[in-house]
Amino acid sequence: MIRPVVVAPMAGGPSTPALVNAATAAGATGFLAAGYKTPQRVEDELRAVKGSYGLNIFVPGPPPPSVDALTAYRTLLQAEADRYGVDLPPLRLADDDHFAAKVELAVAHRVPFVSFTFGVPDRAAVAALQSAGSRVLITVTSPAEAARALAVEPDTLIVQGGPAGGHSATTTPAEHRGDVSTLSLLHAVRTDVPLIAAGGVADRADVDRLLAAGATAVQCGTAFLLADEAGTRPAQREFMLSGRATETVVTRAFTGHPARALRNRFTDLYTEAAPIGYPAVHHLTAPLRAAAARTGDADGLNLWAGTGFRSARPGPVADLVARLLP
């Protein structure tokens, strides 16, 4: 059984085997993030965790709707490349993030919980995981997405509300505004399949409210960004602890897909101009973000965080889980 508090998979660094193991020891369920990693690195992390844990996998999406829009955005970002003294890469339009290989790893390692985001895996992948003993979870952001997910017979749905930090799981990025509350979405998704509520969870009162509304568990990511065991970049830690973080915005500026981040110089300059086009924009901005991280420039980083960021606290995972457990 999944535990009442789930430590969300946070791709790009924050989710580490140490974070997942500490979450398990504290009575929560932690998830590794397979996104952006090679299959070898994912396998190394799977070997480093134990107990009741999960693995999150990105579902490949459709090709970018407009190469011209991506080309124009690349031209616009040349100013950032000049700022950091790096070269922008050519457009990379196709990348499935080693989807099949990561599913095979999850099957081979009999991962207890396997979640998917950015879409619905095919029924064959779901069945293979279930045959290996995994419980399959699919992340949805609307009743329509829930209906599509249920067609492949998952064990659980993760209902992700607009306040959630990081990437939205939406399959309609042009329409996503991040304005649907987690509680209202939980009420809107009607199914006998267990539901995990995700998005904007800041404290125990939020956990209690969502469990009382019918969720079997609550998934939290932002609450663990400052955990001792998290791999969160130093620049983001400093930005959050210094009080410089004032609000969050939903932006495609860093990856071409809607994601909630702390507002900074980059979001101010590029949110309106950024096209739809994940993961092409992700690859395009990767050297910019790497350079910003090297120099400790939080204003050039994708500071993923949910609306509850003000409640995030530093400390060991055990203490942070204890603040949330009902």
Q: Is the peptide bond before 279 cis (omega within 30 degrees of 0)?
A: yes
Strand partners, 198: 160, 219
Instruction: Let me know: does 39 contact 66? Beta carbons within 8 Å.
Output: no
Q: Which residues of 123-150 are buried (b: 16+ CB within 10 A; e: fewer)?
A: eebbebbbeeebbbbbbbbbeebbeebb
Q: What are phi and psi of 167, to 5 degrees?
A: -65, 140
The tens digit of pLDDT for each residue in 48-95 reads 999 999 999 999 999 999 999 999 999 999 999 999 999 999 999 999
Residue 145 is predicted with a pLDDT of: 98
What's the pLDDT at 294?
96
Distance CA 198, CA 308 (A): 12
Per cent of the chain over pLDDT 90 is 99
The string of pLDDT tens digits covering residues 278-322 is 999 999 999 999 999 999 999 999 999 999 999 999 999 999 999
Tell me the pLDDT band of 248, cut-offs 50, 70 and 90: very high
Residue 200: which region, alpha, beta or left (left: phi > 0; alpha: psi -120 to 50)? Answer: left
- Is there a contact between 106 and 115 (Cβ–Cβ < 8 Å)? no
Is residue 156 pLDDT above 90, yes or no? yes
Kindly state the tokens that stand for 11. Answer: 């791709």
- Binning pLDDT at 50, 70 and 90, where does residue 326 land? confident
Is pLDDT of 274 > 90? yes
Q: How confident is the model at residue 1 (pLDDT cuts 50, 70, 90)?
A: confident
Tokens of 183: 């509680």
Residue ranges of domains in the chain:
5-60+96-232+309-324, 65-94+246-302
- pTM, full prediction: 0.97
For residues 217 and 117, give the distance between their C-alpha atoms in angstroms, rounded to a whole number: 17
Return the CATH architecture of domain 5-60+96-232+309-324: Alpha-Beta Barrel (3.20)
Which tokens in the block code for residue 221?
């990511």
**CA atoms of 28 and 308, how far apart (whole Å):** 19
Average pLDDT over residues 218-240: 98
Q: Which helix (H) or strand (E) holds 113?
A: strand 113-117
Strand partners, 167: 259
